[in-house]
Amino acid sequence: MNHPPFTRYYIEYGEISSYPQGYKENAGVFCHNNPWIMIGETVVGRGNRAWDYFRKICPSYLEEVSDLHRTEPYVYAQMIAGRDAFKPGEAKNSWLTGTAAWNFYAISQYILGIQPDYDGLRVDPCIPREWKEFIITRKFRGDSWKITVSNPHGVCRGVTAVTVDGKPHGSTLLPLFGDGRPHTALVTLG
């Protein structure tokens, strides 16, 4: 977000200076790029911060401000009007944003850490320390995986053990079976 907002059009800055004060990139809170920050936090191992950022724009965590946002309480907005806007705090352009898709990508592939790879599914979560366990079902290239991530030591990141179908597996890359049968993985952080 830039601040203070542009108050007139500057040809050298282009479109950003054409928006009203406090809207979109002109001193509004543009939500589309927030998932990129979450992804960055997971890359450096800060699961608590990534999750905190996720909760700050996830509609299901924002019920107490839904009257202020004046948009559907279950839909991501493209932007939230900034303090210089005509109606500060209003959400704009719900249903018309990449914010939802980017948040799904950030939560599924970086916070929960289930990443499709050419050779299989990589499991490398970066979660809040207080999460003790989570379970994901993931269909991938004809296989169905039930992936349990256990966090007995309360860390954000660091896979220490993986078992596949009850057998030790020396990698965070779950193999491709291609047999269409259900498979299990137990991933332990520590």
Higher pLDDT, 84 or 67: 84
Q: What is the pLDDT of residues 45-68, one digit of tens each?
A: 999 999 999 999 898 888 888 888
pTM, full prediction? 0.89
pLDDT average, residue stretch 139-160: 97
What homologous superfamily does CATH list for 115-189?
A: Maltose phosphorylase, domain 3 (2.60.420.10)
pLDDT for 6 equals 96
C-alpha separations of 190 from 41, 86, 91, 135 in Å = 19, 49, 40, 17
Q: What is the pLDDT of residues 173-185, one digit of tens each?
A: 999 999 999 999 9
Q: Which of 43-47, 91-95, 124-128, 146-150 has the lowest mean pLDDT?
A: 91-95
* The token pair that represents 10 in the structure block: 């500057």
In the chain, where the domains are located? 14-103, 115-189
